[in-house]
Chains A and B, each alone.
Chain A
Amino acid sequence: MNITKLSGVLGMITLMAGTALAHHSFTAEFDVNKPVKLTGKVTEMKFSNPHSWIYLDVETNGKIVNWALETGAANALIRRGWKKTDLPAGTVLHVDGWQARNGTATANVSSVTFPDGKRLFAGSSNESAPQQ
Chain B
Amino acid sequence: MFTWSTKALFALSAVVLSAQQIKLPRTADGKPNLQGIWQVRGKAAADLQGKGIVEGGEIPYQPWAITKKRENFTNRLAADPLGKCYLPGVPRIMYMEYPFQIFQTPEHVAITFEWSQVYRLIYTNGKPAPHEGIDSWMGDSRGRWEGDTLVVEVKAQNDKTWFDMAGDFHSDAMNVTERYRMVDPDTIQYEATIQDPKVFTKSWKISIPMTRQKNMSRLLEYQCQAEAEEANGAFERDPRTWYPKPGSPPSPLGKPAVMPPSGPLPEVKTGTNLRRTADGKPDLTGYYQSNAGGANYGLEQRRSELRLTPSTRGVIIDPPDRTLPYQPWARAERINREEPYRGYDDPTAHCFVAGVPRSMYVPSPVQILQPPGYVVMLFERMSWRIVPLDGRAHIPDNIRLWQGDSVGHWEGDTLVVDTTNMNGKTWLNEVGDVVSHAEHIVERFIPTADGKITYRATVTDPIAYTKPWTIEIPLNRANDELLEVACHEDNGDLQHLKDVRDEYRAQQKKEK
Answer yes or no: A98 CB below 8 A from chain B CBs.
Answer: yes
Answer yes or no: A27 CB below 8 A from chain B CBs.
Answer: yes
A32 with B306: CB separation less than 8 A = yes
Interface residues of A in 50-78 (CB under 8 A from B): 50-51, 53, 68, 70, 73-75, 78
| Residues of B contacting A: mostly | loop
Interface residues of B in 465-502 (CB under 8 A from A): 480, 483-487, 489-494, 496-497, 499-500
A131 with B310: CB separation less than 8 A = yes
**Bound-state Cα–Cα, A50 to B348, Å:** 10
A131 with B487: CB separation less than 8 A = no
Pick the contact of A68: B362, B483, B487, B492 (CB < 8 A): B492
**Bound-state Cα–Cα, A70 to B491, Å:** 11
| Shortest Cβ distance from residue A75 to the other chain B in the assembled complex, whole angstroms | 4
User: Given A20-B363, A22-B430, A25-B309, are A78 and B496 neighbors across the interface (CB < 8 Å)?
Assistant: no
Chain B contacts of A128 at CB under 8 A?
Answer: 307
Pick the contact of A28: B296, B348, B364, B500 (CB < 8 A): B500
| Shortest Cβ distance from residue B20 to the other chain A in the assembled complex, whole angstroms | 46
Chain A contacts of B490 at CB under 8 A?
Answer: 46, 48-50
| Shortest Cβ distance from residue A105 to the other chain B in the assembled complex, whole angstroms | 12
| Shortest Cβ distance from residue B421 to the other chain A in the assembled complex, whole angstroms | 24
Answer yes or no: A106 CB below 8 A from chain B CBs.
Answer: yes
A49 with B363: CB separation less than 8 A = no
Determine the residue in chain A with the shortest Cβ distance to B429.
A25
| Shortest Cβ distance from residue A56 to the other chain B in the assembled complex, whole angstroms | 15
User: Given A25-B343, A27-B343, are A51 and B493 neighbors across the interface (CB < 8 Å)?
Assistant: yes
Answer yes or no: B301 CB below 8 A from chain A CBs.
Answer: no
Chain B contacts of A83 at CB under 8 A?
Answer: 133
A101 with B307: CB separation less than 8 A = no
Answer yes or no: B346 CB below 8 A from chain A CBs.
Answer: yes
| Shortest Cβ distance from residue A38 to the other chain B in the assembled complex, whole angstroms | 18
Determine the residue in chain A with the shortest Cβ distance to B489.
A48
User: Given A53-B492, A127-B304, A131-B294, are A28 and B487 neighbors across the interface (CB < 8 Å)?
Assistant: no
Determine the residue in chain B with the shortest Cβ distance to A16.
B363
Most chain A beta carbons < 10 A, residue from B340, B343, B364, B496: B496
Determine the residue in chain A with the shortest Cβ distance to B289.
A132
Chain B contacts of A53 at CB under 8 A?
Answer: 492
**Bound-state Cα–Cα, A38 to B363, Å:** 29
A71-89 vs B: 1/0 string, CB under 8 Å? 0011100110001000000
Answer yes or no: B342 CB below 8 A from chain A CBs.
Answer: yes
Answer yes or no: A104 CB below 8 A from chain B CBs.
Answer: yes
Chain A contacts of B486 at CB under 8 A?
Answer: 48-49
Chain A contacts of B362 at CB under 8 A?
Answer: 23
Answer yes or no: B300 CB below 8 A from chain A CBs.
Answer: no
A79 with B480: CB separation less than 8 A = yes
Pairs A–B under 8 Å by Cβ, sample size 16: A21-B363, A22-B363, A23-B362, A23-B493, A27-B340, A29-B496, A32-B306, A46-B490, A49-B486, A75-B364, A75-B380, A79-B131, A101-B499, A101-B500, A102-B500, A102-B503
List 7 extra interface pairs beyond A25-B309, A50-B351, A125-B307, CB under 8 A: A21-B363, A25-B431, A30-B308, A78-B131, A102-B503, A124-B308, A127-B310
